[in-house]
Chains A and B, each alone.
Chain A
């Protein structure tokens, strides 16, 4: 079974802090994704990566950056956290043309 692991289930940070959300997958998938999920808005794609050191902006990249130094790890970075980034963050990975497999999510609160 595919395993996508997000480093934290719950995280509380302060406004202005730099925040790292980590995601690791064990299936040698090329593609990895970061979404945020907010009530009534479904899943919105922040960034995705289709190869090591490659990244592309999703629908809502503002205020975020990503890093993919190794194939199995995809990090989401909030350079200077703000309260409107309080959300549930979901990481996913997939091989091309295959379903995405999701981690359990990180519920991030910015105070």
Chain B
């Protein structure tokens, strides 16, 4: 199939780590992305990883890529209330004419006190 799949909901306690998982299908994808969408807003690029990397860390964010299993994860350390949002996993694909990005359905992260 052509889907990028991720679970729809995740609830974590404030201060804990959040781990959002994603599976993709195209082994030739060059980049994989994580976007964040806050209520009423567009998508904000959080981070991305090139397909020849296993891990990328940026402050509280850690991206892990397992190419063999086509599995991507986003870990948010010390989760805060401001992290409440929908997180979209996406992969790049080369179409006949342009690069397209295929999005998952998004994971809604909620933070409980």
Chain A residues with a Cβ under 8 A of chain B:
4, 6, 30-31, 40-43, 45, 48, 50, 54, 56, 90, 92, 94, 96-105, 107
User: Residues of A contacting B104 with CB < 8 Å?
Assistant: 42
Count of A-B residue pairs with CB < 8 Å: 57
Given contacts A43-B88, A104-B42, A105-B42, contact A96 B106 (CB under 8 A): no
Additional A-B contact list (20), CB under 8 Å, known A42-B105, A102-B42: A30-B98, A31-B98, A40-B8, A40-B105, A41-B105, A42-B88, A50-B98, A90-B43, A94-B99, A96-B98, A96-B99, A97-B30, A97-B31, A97-B99, A99-B33, A99-B45, A99-B48, A100-B101, A101-B45, A107-B40
A58 to chain B, nearest CB (A): 8
The interface centre, meaning the residue of B30, B88, B98, B105 with most chain A CB atoms within 10 A of its CB, is B98
Chain B residues with a Cβ under 8 A of chain A:
8, 30-31, 33, 35, 40-45, 48, 88, 92, 95, 97-101, 103-106
User: Residues of A contacting B101 with CB < 8 Å?
Assistant: 94, 99-100
